[in-house]
Amino acid sequence: MKFKKILTIGVSESSLGSKYWNRLDDLTEKRVSVQKDSADIKAELKDADCVLVNPFVFTFEKNLIDEAPLLKYIGVLSTAFGNVDYNHAAAKNIAVCNIPNYSTEAVAEFAFGSLLDSLRELERAKTQAKDGNYSEDTFFNTSEIKGKKFGIIGLGNIGSKMAEIALAFGADVMYWSKNRKEKLENGGIKYISVEEIVTECDIISLNLAFNKDTENFLNAVLILKIKKGAVLINLAPNELIDLNALEKRLSNGDITYIMDHSDELTSEQASELSKHKNCIIYPPIGYTTKEATIEKQEIFVGNIENFLQGSPTNKVN
Amino acid sequence: MKFKKILTIGVSESSLGSKYWNRLDDLTEKRVSVQKDSADIKAELKDADCVLVNPFVFTFEKNLIDEAPLLKYIGVLSTAFGNVDYNHAAAKNIAVCNIPNYSTEAVAEFAFGSLLDSLRELERAKTQAKDGNYSEDTFFNTSEIKGKKFGIIGLGNIGSKMAEIALAFGADVMYWSKNRKEKLENGGIKYISVEEIVTECDIISLNLAFNKDTENFLNAVLILKIKKGAVLINLAPNELIDLNALEKRLSNGDITYIMDHSDELTSEQASELSKHKNCIIYPPIGYTTKEATIEKQEIFVGNIENFLQGSPTNKVN
């Protein structure tokens, strides 16, 4: 089984990798690529039975889906698929498949890297050594993960992986999640309330998926309650947090905030947050490992192959 | 039981911490502190039955021990005790006690921090974000620990802790140690030769104690065989390594070396190593956490108390 025509919108050879880009040739009789803002999109949709789309640059709305009478499959080049009208697609028996969990380890490892960088002041240490100063005298106020109360809000794939690593470091790991996960508690982690996490934990990791229910999840009341001296790591969208309340805590200088979704900040938010030395801002590099990228590409093309073979994977609708 | 006179040489209130410094008062009828180069040392030794010494600034040789006819106890404020003539002390029935293993977690955690900092280019990422550039585009060549061959040379306390953490990260962990530790192999780590470690591993951690047997342990032959692209972490003295051979590999640019014993380098070695971008030099901050410092002070004073109570701890002679 092959598709008659694969149309890619906003998906390039560089975003998919040459190897996977070329593998598409075996899956279709014909392929066409258009940019996200091409005037030809509607015309090209007419005879496409497969559309591959980058939802960060292109929104696949109901009326556009209706322009593609032969469409059977929409492949989304991301975990997020909110920009594709998947309910409308389902009603027309069009499968929408995404790429879940490809970056679990990449994000969890980055969380520990950025945490240890902060706790041990690695950047300052390297800079000092570059200046030829090899004294450790000003580094005796640094902290370990071992023995710390390590609270994870949201025990999904990334949260669970972080719990496993934190346990190996010897942290006292606790979590809150929408659904309690008793199986994972056997590994030595405790289920407590979100309020207890922010009040008691020295290290707090926010690992919730962002949606309408989780918007502003760490609200002003909770942010005020964060333990003095705590480190809050958020490698998810900043919309999970009341940034105004957070900035007040950052001004007090009694918590540290580590984040990587900086590309999604307004320029005003970015400039406000950057003022604070205890706000550690990364580009969104949590997911950008070689390994995660290959996994993403593999799942994306694998989804298409599996659909053609009659056993769709990662279908979201 | 109390001592009649505790003499501290090169040990200050700041190096021991006020709390522990004051706790010494309960352990002696009299106490005297001298600097490492005081002219009074010989005179003060005459009636001291307990000497506490910082072996990094003061060498307690045979002839000086002979100046202290009442001496029963020498407390060494470090793990290393080579600068105290412990054999001569033993012959005179003087206990020498040191502080082992106080920094196991501090060093193991620093190893993972510095490793992740290197693998994920955290410093470059933060610098870029400080400049207002929030793009992840240049970070897709970074690596994960998961799935990597992680070789540990020397499976003592620090090596074992690192193995446990590396397993939680999902690394493929292997080790060589002077004595094979089959119990620890049940956790999922493999025993292989040093040559196999350097040839096959992507991440190599050197965790040997430095002594006459381990000097130049990673010799020129082994260093030539280190896998291309590997990261070598050495948080032990550089004397374990043939630095000339290492510099050749660093010049080739095909391995990364992370080290923290920079204070022990000659200025010539330091200037040679600093030339290489892929040589990541820290001040000796592996052991400098608050937690390790408290543990060190606690063990040091605890040793004295235990000796007085008739059950010496951490006696090395």
ipTM of predicted assembly, 2 dp: 0.92
Residue among A109, A134, A280 whose CB faces B144 most closely: A109
Structure tokens at B99: 């502080």
Lowest pLDDT segment from B1-5, B185-189, B273-277, B278-282: B185-189
pLDDT for res B82: 87
Q: How confident is the model at residue B309 (pLDDT cuts 50, 70, 90)?
A: very high
pLDDT of residue B74 exceeding 90:
yes
Q: Are residues B111 and B168 in the same domain?
A: yes
pLDDT for res B15: 83
Q: What is the pLDDT of residues B145-181, one digit of tens each?
A: 999 999 999 999 999 999 999 999 999 999 999 999 9
Opening angle at CA B155, ends B151 and B156, nearest 5: 145
Task: Give a yes or no: residue B9 inside a domain.
Answer: yes
Q: Count CB neighbours of B266 within 10 A.
A: 10
Residue among A130, A146, A283 whose CB faces B291 most closely: A146
Contact B270 A132 (CB under 8 A): yes
Taking CB atoms within 8 Å and a gap of at least 24, the contacts of B13-22 are B15/B54, B15/B77, B16/B77, B16/B297, B16/B300, B16/B301, B17/B293, B17/B294, B17/B297, B19/B297, B20/B297, B20/B298, B20/B300, B20/B301
Alpha-carbon A216 to chain mean position: 17
Q: Are residues A256 and A117 in the same domain?
A: yes
- CB contacts of A118 in chain B (<8 Å) are none
**What is the domain range of residue B95?**
3-102+291-308
pLDDT of residue B210 exceeding 90:
no
pLDDT for res A15: 83
Helix (H) or strand (E) holding B109: helix B104-120
With DSSP H G I counted as helix, E B as strand and the rest as coil, what are the percentages for chain B, rounded to 5?
A: 40, 20, 40
CATH code, A78:
3.40.50.720
Task: Give a yes or no: residue A222 inside a domain.
Answer: yes
CA neighbor of A78 nearest in space, from A99, A93, A94? A99
- Tell me the average pLDDT of chain B: 96
pLDDT for res A12: 87
Structure tokens at A196: 């207890």
Residue among A112, A125, A289 whose CB faces B283 most closely: A125
Q: How confident is the model at residue B187 (pLDDT cuts 50, 70, 90)?
A: confident
pLDDT for res B80: 85
Q: What is the pLDDT of residues B79-103, one digit of tens each?
A: 889 899 999 999 999 999 999 999 9
Task: Give a yes or no: residue A196 inside a domain.
Answer: yes
What average pLDDT does the segment B301-307 reach?
97
Least Cα separation, residue A262 to chain B (angstroms):
6
CA neighbor of A29 nearest in space, from A10, A8, A70, A1? A1
Q: How confident is the model at residue B302 (pLDDT cuts 50, 70, 90)?
A: very high
- CB contacts of B259 in chain A (<8 Å) are none
Q: Are residues A171 and A33 in the same domain?
A: no
Contact A165 B164 (CB under 8 A): no
- CB contacts of B270 in chain A (<8 Å) are 132, 134
Task: Give a yes or no: residue B250 inside a domain.
Answer: yes
Least Cα separation, residue A65 to chain B (angstroms):
31
Rounded CA-CA distance B220/B214 in Å is 14
Q: Output Rg (C-alpha) for chain B, integer angstroms.
A: 23
> What is the number of domains present in chain A?
2
- CB contacts of B164 in chain A (<8 Å) are 168
- Three-state secondary structure string covering A103-153: CHHHHHHHHHHHHHHHHHCHHHHHHHHHCCCCCCHHHCCECCCCCCEEEEE
Residue among A133, A145, A285 whose CB faces B120 most closely: A285
Alpha-carbon B261 to chain mean position: 9
- Three-state secondary structure string covering A164-232: HHHHHCCCEEEEECCCCCHHHHCCCCEECCHHHHHHHCCEEEECCCCCCCCCCCECHHHHHHCCCCCEE
CA atoms within 13 A on the CB side of A33: 12
- What parts of chain A have a pLDDT lower than 70? none
Task: Give a yes or no: residue B314 inside a domain.
Answer: no
Task: Give a yes or no: residue B95 inside a domain.
Answer: yes
pLDDT for res B139: 96
Q: What is the pLDDT of residues B17-64, one digit of tens each?
A: 899 999 999 999 999 999 988 889 999 999 999 999 999 899 999 999
Q: Are residues B261 and B159 in the same domain?
A: yes
Rounded CA-CA distance A95/A100 in Å is 15
Q: Do B243 and B218 form a contact (C-beta atoms < 8 A)?
A: no
